[in-house]
Each structure stands twice: as C-alpha cells, then as structure tokens.
Amino acid sequence: MSRCKRLMVTLSGILKDDKKNSQFIMRSVILYRDNENNTKGNMESGYLEMASINLEYSELGCECEYNECLEYETWLSESDLSNDNNSSKKRRYLLC
C-alpha cells in the first residue's frame, strides 16, 4: 500500500511541475521503465544467489548420503555370514 502511495505522490508531484500532458506521460513511462529495469536486475541477482545456495545444499546432501552409504556397505561387508556358526571368517569385500 505504501508503494502505491509513494507512486501516486511522485506522479502527482510531476503533474504539478509539468503543464503539458505529453511531458507528464513521458516522465511516467520513463519512471516505470527504470523501475522495471531495477526490479528485473534485483530479481536476477537474487536468483543467482539462490542458485549458488541451492547448489551448496544439494552437494552437502549428496555428500552426507554418500558417506552413509559407504558406512553401511562397510558394515555389511564386515558382518558375519548368514550361515555363521561362530567359526567362519568375516567378509572383507564390498557388496555391489
């Protein structure tokens, strides 16, 4: 709401300064275009920032999952065989 009020105050200030309608319209279009360019630039930089943050989070998640998988496979490879009668050796290979 305050943004709309600011725009209305700015435009009404321009209307008081300019006597001709064409000058008022020209200035309004220029203001609008400049505002749109600023908004697009801000959005683009925001998306680029979020892209790097998302990449960092996804790499962190993949790294944690990979480490857990390796830990689990190591645990599996060192576990006793299912037909173990307490005399067999432990497996020392990774399951694929």
DSSP characters over 45-85:
HHHHHHHHHHHHHHHHHHHHHHHHHHHHHHHHHTSPPTT--
Percent of the chain with pLDDT over 90: 14
Q: Which two tokens stand for residue 45?
A: 């930089």
**How would residue 87 be classed by pLDDT, with cut points 50, 70 and 90?**
low
Residue 88 φ then ψ, to 5°: -85, 160
Tell me the pLDDT tens digit for each residue of 12-44: 666 565 567 777 788 888 888 888 888 888 999
